[in-house]
């Protein structure tokens, strides 16, 4: 027999009479974005040290002491299940060094507060740690879960399945257009024919990248994600460029 213990139940039991904060990686480790996981810190200066805040009328204030009943739990937050894919919703990483809207504060009661949105999340919905980013710089970031918002799309099946299918259909017809124009020398020899083929190719690449972006595994690497986003942007620009030639 195999006994399964729900991690969320374990968390709730441990934190029922304590103030819990959640660290993304085990003790002595930081999150290395290059390998996409936790790794041992090279020295103690790289380790995350909680910086507590207290709330007053003007917002969170720095310099609060650690709670007496503090308990540090480890691991990623417990994200809700996507009703369509039946998989946990992909957590969102807060990068305050890149985006001021991502600024967060750790409150003395164990919750994480986002000043820009004026909302707080308990320790089941976030984790904090030091991250080693692309240039080997150490920054403090947080990973959090947003509750599934039914208002974001009126019909999830359209967003998750039908949109990529229509993108694939578009890519097929764009490929047919390219083949037809290239196979007729009299048409392809003209400037208009070459421009139309180039535009179709740019849109074809865009459709392929959009499908990959939608159907890619949740664990896609950060570099691959940036590559796909750049490919979509450049392909769209190229398509409009050839449209104006």
CB atoms inside a 10 Å sphere around CB 4: 5
Tell if the pTM clears 0.85, that is, is over it. no
Do residue 30 and residue 118 come from a single domain? Answer: yes
* Residue range of the domain that includes 96: 7-149
Vertex 194, ends 189 and 196: CA angle to 5°?
A: 130
- Those residues whose C-beta lies under 8 Å from the C-beta of residue 148, and which sit 6 or more positions away, are 80, 81, 82, 83, 89
Total domain count, the chain: 2
Do residue 63 and residue 140 come from a single domain? Answer: yes
Do residue 138 and residue 184 come from a single domain? Answer: no
Could you list the pLDDT tens digit for every one of the 245 residues in the chain? 456 567 777 777 888 889 999 999 999 999 998 888 999 999 999 999 999 998 887 778 888 889 899 999 999 888 877 665 666 778 889 999 988 999 999 999 999 999 998 899 999 999 999 999 877 899 999 999 876 554 444 555 666 778 889 999 999 999 999 999 999 998 889 998 999 999 999 999 999 999 888 877 555 677 888 888 899 999 999 999 988 87
- CA-wise closest residue to 129 among 11, 53, 33: 33
Do residue 15 and residue 101 come from a single domain? Answer: yes
The Cα 182–Cα 8 span in angstroms is: 59
3-state class (DSSP) for residue 124: coil
For residues 135-153, b (16+ Cβ closer than 10 Å) or e, as one string?
eeeeebbbbbbeeeeeeee
The Cα 63–Cα 53 span in angstroms is: 6
Do residue 79 and residue 197 come from a single domain? Answer: no
Do residue 168 and residue 236 come from a single domain? Answer: yes
- pLDDT tens, position by position, 40-79: 999 999 999 999 998 887 778 888 889 899 999 999 888 8
* Whether the Cβ atoms of residue 53 and residue 108 lie closer than 8 Å to each other: yes
- CA-wise closest residue to 36 among 24, 20, 18, 49: 24
In a domain, 17, yes or no: yes
- CA-wise closest residue to 109 among 18, 27, 48: 18
Q: CA dihedral defined by 224, 227, 232, 233, rounded to 10 degrees?
A: 150
């Amino acid at each position: 027999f195999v006994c399964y213990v729900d991690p969320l139940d374990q968390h709730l039991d441990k934190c029922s009479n304590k103030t819990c904060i959640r660290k993304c990686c085990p003790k002595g480790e930081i999150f290395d974005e290059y390998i996409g996981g936790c790794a041992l810190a090279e020295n103690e200066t790289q380790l995350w040290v909680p910086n507590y805040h207290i709330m007053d009328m003007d917002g969170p204030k720095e310099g609060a002491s650690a709670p007496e009943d503090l308990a540090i739990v480890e691991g990623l937050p417990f994200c809700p299940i996507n009703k369509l894919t039946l998989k946990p919703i992909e957590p969102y990483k807060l990068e305050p060094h890149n985006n001021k809207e991502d600024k967060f504060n750790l409150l003395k009661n164990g919750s994480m507060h986002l000043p820009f949105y004026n909302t707080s999340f308990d320790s089941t919905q976030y984790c904090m740690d030091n991250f080693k980013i692309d240039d080997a710089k150490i920054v403090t970031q947080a990973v959090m879960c947003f509750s599934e918002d039914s208002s974001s799309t009126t019909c999830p099946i359209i967003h998750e399945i039908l949109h990529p299918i229509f993108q694939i259909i578009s890519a097929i017809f764009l490929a047919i257009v390219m083949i037809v124009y290239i196979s007729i020398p009299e048409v392809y020899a003209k400037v208009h024919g070459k421009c139309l083929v180039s535009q179709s190719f740019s849109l074809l690449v865009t459709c392929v990248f959009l499908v990959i972006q939608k159907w890619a595994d949740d664990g896609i690497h950060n570099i691959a994600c940036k590559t796909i986003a750049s490919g979509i942007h450049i392909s769209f620009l190229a398509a409009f460029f050839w449209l104006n030639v």
